[in-house]
Structures are given as structure tokens and as C-alpha cells.
Amino acid sequence: MVRLAAIVAFALALTGCDVINSAKDTFKNATATAEDLEASTGVKPTVGFNWTNGRLVQVTVTYPQLVEGKPMPELVEAARTAIRKEFKQDPENIVLGFVIRKPSA
């Protein structure tokens, strides 16, 4: 019973601080970035991020396939622009990736 009370008290303390809201906002930023990139490239990527002490250290943009018809510099600039717009800061690193599936037999 004491353990449950401590957990409830801790949960209430966290809801009062800005950690939960910051996490929600960051996930919204990642979703909005993916939507922006889908609009500009035609393929929706997965967007991940890494924050350390309030700094956006890394954003990872992974497309589920190669993006046909878009040269790499255009994809890089689209990612950079969408990340700046949604996260409101430049990350130290942007990782751009593509999933290459095993060819079917």
C-alpha cells in the first residue's frame, strides 16, 4: 500500500512538471516533420530524435524505400527544412536512411 501511494505521488509530481508536456510536444514535432516530408517527397518516413539537456543532438529520418526521382541533395534539404520548421532548432546531426528489402525470389 505504501508503495502504491509513493507511485501515485511520483506520478502526480511528474504531471506537474514540464517533462511530460515536452515529451508530447517533441513527438508531435516528429510526426509533423514526417508529414511535411511526405508532402514534399511522396513517401512518408519514420522520424526519430535524440535530445540531451535541451539540445537536439540527432534527428533520424528513415524512408521505407528508396525515393525515386529525388536526388540526394533535394532529400537532404527537404529534411533539413522540415526539421528546422517543426523542431524550431537545428540538430547537431541529421541521419538520412533508406530501408533496402531483400529481393523476392
Q: Domains in the chain, please, with CATH?
A: 22-98 (3.30.300.20)
**Whole-prediction pTM:** 0.76
State residue 22's pLDDT score: 65
Distance of alpha carbon 69 from alpha carbon 52, whole angstroms: 35
Answer yes or no: are the C-beta atoms of 46 and 37 closer than 8 Å.
no
Beta bridge partners of 62: 46, 97
33, 60, 96 from 26: Cα distances, Å: 10, 14, 19
pLDDT of residue 15: 57
Query: pLDDT of 21-73, one tens digit each?
Result: 666 777 888 999 999 999 999 999 999 999 888 888 999 999 999 998 899 99
| Cβ pair 55, 17 in contact under 8 A | no
Maximum distance among all alpha carbons in the chain? 61
